[in-house]
Structure 1
Amino acid sequence: MSQVLVGVFDSFGEAEQAIVRLEQGGIARSDMELHASNLSADTAGSTERPVVAGSAVTNDGDGEGVVAKIEHFFGRLFGSENHPEDVGHYKEAVRRGGALLTVTVVDEAHVALVRSTLHEAGAVDIDERVAHWKSTGYAGYDATNPLYTPEQVAADRQAFSVVRESLDVGKREVETGGVRVYSRATETPVSETVNLREEHATIERHPVDRVATAADLKGGSIEVRETAEHAVVAKTAHVIEEVVVGREASERTETINETLRGTEVEVERVEGEKGAVKGAAPGTTTVASPRTATSDGVESVDPLKPL
């Protein structure tokens, strides 16, 4: 059983890139059909038939041609009557400057590849896109509505960024000071008291009156030495303290208080004049979600959800 996956793109160029990626993934070019008008956002005003990877692709010059071919394609899948509502949404996407890429997958093993490739190439979520259109007055595809002009296509693609600041708190090491240790010689005057002893010779004379003896008549001599103590100074160095220089780590918790800025986008419904062409308002964010169409003999698969 073959399966048909349908991807809607905002521009012809995105659809072209999807084709290139699919071919690189092994999907045959003959299994793909691309429908878009020359009013696609990136091919406005083009009169040449685009070529992708050497093969011509369908780029219908007017709205009637591309819509007719889309109807013919889905007619082959579902028959000429009772088309699903999604078919009208696909035609509406092309009317608004989009491109429609259909891929017939013969090998079921390639379904996941096709889904992811369409997603990565920028296929929009048709359900979200239709919900946005309905918020601006879309009530279903109307074949009487003209194609979007290039100006309308550009306005429909206008985007408003929703900004949110995030707080990233990191750490950096800074020098907060330190210590420097010096070692230098010092001199300190000191005073000490010491007792010194001295010995002096003494002579004493005493008057006497006696008869001299022979010993008294002998000559002789005697010597008495005088002594004195002097202070002797000696110095010895002693280590009385050691100063050890190092570092130790400590931790503290600091609370950072900041104000984060951002923007919000509000969508307001603006009523238009009666008879005016209803257009899509900007401001939607799209994600890939190609849908699957089926016919007799074509197996159905669930719509591709955002990956």
Structure 2
Amino acid sequence: MKTITAYFDSVQVAEKAAFDLAKAVPGVRGQVVDTRNAASLDELSLPEGDAALVREGFGRGGGVVHAEVPDGRFDEVANVLEASGAVDLDALEAGWRKEGWTGSTTGAASGTTTATTGVSTGASGATGALSGTSTGGETQRLGAAGEERIPIVEERLRVGKREVGHGRVRIRSYVVETPVQEQVTLHEERVNVERRTVDRPLTAVDEALFQERVIEATETAEEAVVAKEARVVEEVALRKTAEERTETVRDTVRRTEVEVEDDRTAAKTSTSTPKRDPGAV
């Protein structure tokens, strides 16, 4: 959104210009400021020199039309106001000074361009009839130094790196006791003593039985023997690998641009290179 301010020789002309503007450019409504509501002039953010001229104009019966202009429609609004009789402030100031007016010094008396983007020039090529600013800005006119500057600001993208943790892996060993069972076959020998009743005649072999004799037998039995053997059956390793990847970072950066509008008619001049005297040293 931009703003535009135009000065007219009389309040009646300013009111008619505001009416013509509302009719020609729907959606744009001009506010008429004159001596009756001169306090509103401070809200228009005019340059100090232009404000002094307008206040003097109020005392001479003039009026101002101020309007907010949507982006892209500034030239359309400016053309309507110029066609309705907007006055060139530079030319107006020059005339008043010839009459003896000693108001606040502005820029050059004629043909001075303003430094703020959005200022419209009149059909004749002189600036100052209309003042335009972006919302929140202020139109500037060249001072005594003859120079005003608009810095070009540009954002640059800087990409850095930082280490971010994505979790931790930890291996912990502990002892678990699990009941187990195995089956084993055990061999066992037992000795039994039996008495048998025998009734038979004694033989020659039996005669040797009449002597001392000892018979022994040993009982044996197998029992389970338990032994434990520890063996490594598996390994769990913790290993870290590193790799590099390229990531595209996308963002937007801002940069200010400057648009220069120059409607002055360039004077046509011709230049020629003087001929050199062959005899000159």
TM-score range, shorter chain: 0.3 to 0.5
Which of structures 1 and 2 has the larger relative contact order (alpha carbons within 8 angstroms, sep 6+)?
A: 1
Say which one has the larger Rg: 2
Report the TM-score when normalising by structure 1: 0.35
Which TM-score applies when normalising by structure 2? 0.38
